[in-house]
Amino acid sequence: MNEVLLVFSTFAAIMALGFIGDALSRKTLLPSVIMLMVLGIVFGPLLNLFQYDVLIGALPYIAPLTIAFISFEASMSMDVYSVIKQSRRAAVLSVFGFFFSMIAVGSLLHFALGVRWAYALLMASAWSGMNTAIVKAVCKYIKVQEETYQTLTMVSLVDDPLVLITTLTILSYIRLGGISSQEILIKLSSNIFIAIFLGAILGLAWLNVLYIARKGEYTYTFTLAASLFVYSLTEILGGAGVIAVFIFGLMIGNYKSVVNALNLKISTDELSSLKISIEKFHSELTFMLSSFFFTFIGLIYVFTGFFALLLGLACSILLHVTKYITAKIGTFRSPMSEDLPVMGFIVGQGAASAAMSTLPIVYNLPDAVIFTSIALNIILINNITSITLPYIATKLATKKRTRKTTSTLKF
């Protein structure tokens, strides 16, 4: 009974810290991720008010749940046709930038720590995305062109699915170690195929269920239960649960395209308000869970030495460099090149990256504590620099343009 009370009181305290962190972030105008992690570090490792063993014991349950919620939200809000047709530049910026950063940071980890390539790329992929909240926070205080803001938002929306799917695919590869390359390829393909198949079939079926139950109450609760069922069933059958949930959400989020493509006897107008309602409730629940999770990973942070801190700083610098190069290439001969100081320095991570960074501990991978420590260093540094560097770079660029204009007028 004491253990149950301990778990309940621990979770209640974390939720309270999450609420306080969100309130402080609004007052200080800092991204909530920074405040939540700092509060977690203060009340966890520094003041030692939480039992580390209890937190680590809960992580294998909290992390997959958080990842599933984030995956469903990311897919529900993604308009596939908008990404492909309306914003090809954003898709290129996201995909090229993601893999460029992943390879660069993965190479650094491989040679600096001497770990196998798959393990290095696993962690690098978790840190190579960009978070929407950071984009909004920066663009709120730094004036950019509307096209730049829309492109950055689109890139950040594509990044979360890339982080989730790529990291989990590499994790599946690592967990299949000990068998031949051919067997790994077959098994990995099977895992992904099962996930895509179940996600698509069950998503299609759920569209019909939603249409039938469109006038009923508690539809979101019903859909939430369905998404958790999709995750569980896929894992039981040997597939990747998160990928299945992502495809499941993608089918629901892009219901108009699905209905028109398959000529289903479903009124898209009647599903429109229902989709908005599901998105709203799920977004609020995901926000609450993400706040809890950011505080949680601050609580389990372990300082593993100055080498891990310096390596985190090196990875952060490399992420900024690769992002700047990508933005430079992506805005070539584009009006958005004027906003390069902003586009080239936003690398802040969100809940997807944080959740992926805990996978080594969840699956008992080698040196898990060290990698989680490096991950938290990177996430904190990147979120701080993603706020400060664009501001500094923009100020310097403005001064430079002013000087040029003044010298031209004098001439």
What is the pLDDT confidence band of residue 310, given thresholds at 50, 70 and 90?
very high
Query: Could you give the 3-state DSSP secondary structure of residue 268?
Result: helix
What residue spans define the domains of the chain?
60-410
Radius of gyration of the chain from its Cα atoms, rounded to whole angstroms: 22
Q: What is the pLDDT of residue 1?
A: 47
Q: What is the pLDDT of residue 111?
A: 93
Average of pLDDT values for 343-347?
A: 85
pLDDT per residue as tens digits for the range 147-203:
788 788 778 877 888 888 888 888 888 888 766 767 777 887 888 899 989 999 999
pLDDT per residue as tens digits for the range 1-32:
466 777 778 888 888 888 888 888 777 767 77
Assign domain 60-410 to its CATH architecture: Up-down Bundle (1.20)
**DSSP 8-state assignment for residue 266:** -
Q: What is the pLDDT of residue 315?
A: 94
